[in-house]
């Protein structure tokens, strides 16, 4: 068809320099590929060259540092699900990764791909916000770190420039626990109507709490962290503390998955479930 993009070549990057060069020359990034064909068919991906980054060792590595965990953009969701234990700052990210698609999908789909797809209902996105993650973009100009809170710009839109690829996701090591839950109409293979991640962090000034919400606006959003008097505050009080803040920052729409009213009504029960799971991981 006239005007329809045609994929004319597939380049397989062997090194990180290869990947940066090929993407900088106009190639579209192909990682797990679970969304690539559908996006290409829909015309969302208009590049005529695809760059397979699955063989780039640095992009498939998880590095456990003293102050952060660096997750390569090519690390699969199955591997994210298998990382560590629940009592880490990765808890909500791991919860979200475990819910994406089917087991077969998760063995191919990558954390970087889920982030770069930038779906408002992406299951790992609220966890990235709750963890205070940084997205490290790579190009011929060097590296550029973008806070997750500034990375997501709209449905399918993010802060990556045309000549950049997502290299790593840096998750700060904190004395924190987190959790993510969602509502769907099917148990699996469905997008979240609403999803909520919560995080409880211990700091020198005391515990603080925040929530991040997906599926209730054009991008996932997070509340400011609020200080609480202690970790023994009743669950109902914690829910009340965050509920109104969330209602103030979300902008849900009405669509086939639910009305604006329905999405707003989901906030309290999902927040309660997420907080309960989060507190149980202390």
175-207-123 Cα angle (round to 5): 65
- Between 235-249 and 260-280, two packed helices, what is the crossing angle to 10 degrees? 140
Pair (227, 269) in one structural domain: yes
Query: Is residue 254 domain-resident?
Result: yes
Whether residue 71 sits in one domain with residue 36? no
Q: Which two tokens stand for residue 52?
A: 């397979």
Q: Examine residue 14 and state whether it is found in any structural domain, yes or no.
A: yes
Domain that holds residue 47: 9-52
Domain edge (last residue) among 172, 196, 216? 172
Residue 3 is assigned to a structural domain of this protein = no
Helix (H) or strand (E) holding 237: helix 235-249
Q: Quick one: pLDDT at residue 216?
A: 98
C-beta separation of 192 from 215 below 8 A: yes
Domain-ending residue, one of 172, 201, 227: 172
Q: Which residue has the tokens 């990034």?
A: 29
Question: Which of 124, 191, 178 minimizes the C-alpha distance to 151?
Answer: 124
The DSSP secondary-structure symbol of 265 reads H
pLDDT-derived band at 1 (thresholds 50, 70, 90) equals very low
Count of domains forming the chain: 3
Residue 2 lies inside a defined structural domain of this protein: no
pLDDT value for 93: 97
| pTM for the predicted model, two decimal places | 0.94
Question: Is 65 a member of any domain?
Answer: yes
Q: Do 72 and 165 have their domain in common?
A: yes
pLDDT per residue over 18-50, tens digit each? 999 999 999 999 999 898 888 887 777 778 889
Contact 20, 165 (CB under 8 A): yes
| Token reading at 98 | 């475990």
Same domain, yes or no: 167 and 68: yes
Count of other CB atoms within 10 angstroms of residue 70: 18
Final residue belonging to a domain, choices 172, 191, 217: 172
pLDDT tens digits, 145-164: 999 999 999 999 999 999 99
Predicted confidence (pLDDT) at residue 185 exceeds the cutoff of 80: yes
66 in the same domain as 127 = yes
Q: Is residue 1 part of a domain?
A: no
Q: What is the CATH number of the domain that holds 117?
A: 3.30.465.10
Q: What is the CATH number of the domain that holds 249?
A: 3.30.390.50
Domain identity same for 46 and 20: yes
């Amino acid at each position: 068809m006239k005007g329809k993009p045609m994929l004319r070549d597939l380049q397989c990057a062997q090194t990180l320099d290869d990947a940066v060069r090929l993407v900088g020359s106009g190639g579209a990034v192909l990682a797990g590929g679970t969304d690539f064909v559908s996006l290409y068919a829909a015309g969302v991906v208009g590049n005529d060259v695809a760059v397979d980054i699955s063989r780039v060792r640095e992009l498939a590595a998880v590095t456990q540092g003293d102050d952060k965990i660096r997750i390569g953009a090519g690390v699969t969701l199955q591997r994210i699900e298998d990382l560590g234990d629940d009592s880490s700052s990765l808890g909500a990210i791991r919860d979200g990764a475990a819910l994406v698609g089917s087991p077969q999908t998760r063995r191919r789909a990558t954390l970087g791909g889920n982030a770069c797809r930038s779906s408002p209902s992406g299951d790992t996105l609220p966890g990235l916000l709750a963890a205070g993650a940084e997205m490290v973009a790579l190009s011929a100009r060097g590296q550029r770190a973008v806070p997750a809170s500034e990375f997501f710009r709209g449905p399918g839109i993010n802060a990556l420039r045309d000549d950049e690829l997502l290299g790593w996701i840096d998750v700060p090591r904190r004395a924190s626990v987190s959790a993510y839950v969602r509502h769907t109409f099917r148990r699996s293979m469905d997008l979240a109507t609403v999803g909520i991640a919560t995080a409880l962090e211990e700091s020198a000034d005391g515990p603080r709490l925040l929530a991040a919400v997906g599926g209730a606006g054009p991008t996932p959003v997070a509340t400011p962290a609020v200080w609480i008097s202690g970790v023994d505050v009743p669950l109902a009080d914690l829910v009340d503390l965050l509920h109104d803040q969330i209602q103030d920052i979300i902008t849900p729409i009405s669509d086939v998955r639910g009305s604006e009213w329905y999405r707003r009504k989901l906030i309290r029960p999902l927040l309660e479930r997420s907080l309960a799971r989060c507190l149980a991981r202390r």
